[in-house]
Amino acid sequence: MTRVLIVGNGRMGTIIRELVEADESCELAGIVGIETMGTLAEEAPEADVVIDFSHKDMLPHVEAYVQCTNAALVSGTTGYDEDEMARVRALGGHAPVIHSANYSLGVAVLRRLAAEAAEALDGFDIEIVETHHNQKVDAPSGTAKLLLDAVNPAGEFDPV
């Protein structure tokens, strides 16, 4: 049975908790939210995998947990700067790590199509416009940045 520790108790954390609880091959080891983040390195239960859909401020605590336990990390947290992303990648030296700004199949297909369109339409002006609910924490979103990287992989153009 795979023991799952969820970091983040917002919308995605709640959905993931429901999925873990419904999966007979998984056991919910615990949930850590922003209010209990200090317990992650010291008191968090043992887990095989950490699923992190929290806030970028949780990174030091997630880092400490993965380094201490070697639990695999699945991260969907966005808003990291380049140094923080380097720290997430470096955790791969301790345990398996996967990070994506968006795990949706539809967004993965859209990213690929956007990259192909940008290549085929060289010289065209491309604009990414996004709209969110009023509780969206990071803007531009990780998904918007993911799409920007797809249409501007060399970073030739400055986003406005």
Q: Which sequence positions are flagged as catalytic? A: 132, 136
* Phi, psi dihedral angles at 72 (to 5 degrees): -65, 150
Contacts of 128 (CB under 8 A, 6+ apart): 140, 144, 147, 148, 151
Number of CB atoms found within 10 A of residue 136's CB: 11
- Write phi, then psi, for 47 (nearest 5 degrees): -145, 155
Residue reference for tokens 């999925």: 19
Nearest alpha carbon to residue 146 among 100, 105, 113:
100
